[in-house]
Structure 1
């Protein structure tokens, strides 16, 4: 965690520099606020409008978190089933890839027609966005187990179940966490897209209302909130990964 904080000052410095350039360009060119507000205007709106924006932020965070957890569980279960049953993997893996070629923004209205405007279609959208990276990453991780270690355990009398849980699954953990980090960032955007379908609260609703009233500063507040939530979810997964996969981290540091 300390190393993450020590390395974090460089991107923060670059981000601060970009904000300074943005501020100077807007002020110098005298760009209208409705077209492109200055960062100072955006941050001022975020502070003054916090009481109004907070319920939307909390709503999006909640459904993004729930959807991510559901998507992660489904992704891991699907990966386990496809890996342990090769016939199913050969039959359904191409269909999983095809399922990701359907744009979510196109599928979302159909989910509203089928399931209404409640929580279910939102969870389906987020789950569809989240589960695929985890499934693919986990399957790749299972296949990366060294063959000589697997052969050694089989020679020692280990069952297939023991080989999987004591060797293949631990070796796949770094890949699984890579998929989790990707899905964690996707979950926030999936939540926002699901809120565009129809919701009473959420960043997606806030953004839609702001854009329709030409409050560009509020649109940027929503964009920055999405970026912050995605980064926060990503960092949480990184911290958990460093706690769980200690052996892998030590090996990487020794290289």
Structure 2
């Protein structure tokens, strides 16, 4: 029995207080940076960057993403640039999965990441800058709905596809698109084609390809599709557990043929 108890004791997962202190240190460092100074915030994350390229969203937009881990948590940042200038950024993190730490970390996050959505903490600087269509959009003057704007934003996810992983799960942007697609007017679809988010543009093209007869301005739409394909020729996608880049025209041709009712 003594051997059994000793073995069990060795397997008990205790709280590592040094990890908690590391997390406190990271959050205090970030709290000391003026959140209204996006260049200063980006400078902090740039010191951990090893990538030589930024992901282009097309039409003058790029995104720089980086994270910094500590003990139990990591804080991630996405900086959105337009024509080389930071116009918006978001910080996001998750509390540890350990129940006994959740309330403590909620308090720790309160100043830096005050908004809590199902355990997801985040902060957005100048969100209005990315909640709009591309500058080339010249569509209807009617107000764009909140749901459409959220899908058009790069924060909805810029990976284009259906889903993947183990266990398989649908991409958040695909789930959001599927929730809207049966209610989309022709004007809505064309508006989505001018999203800052390249994945949203491609999902709108899929919809058009499946419902081409609904649209009277096919020539204009297809000319825009060619411009979009040239502007960002490849995009990140998923196949099972594999993440890779593929040509956008090939992917649209592939996905618009699928029976989306299966997803």
Q: Given the two structures, how large is their TM-score scaled by the length of structure 1?
A: 0.24
Relative contact order (C-alpha < 8 Å, sep 6+): which is higher? 1
Structure with more strand by fraction? 2
Q: TM-score, normalised by structure 2?
A: 0.23
Q: Answer 1 or 2: which has greater helix percent.
A: 1
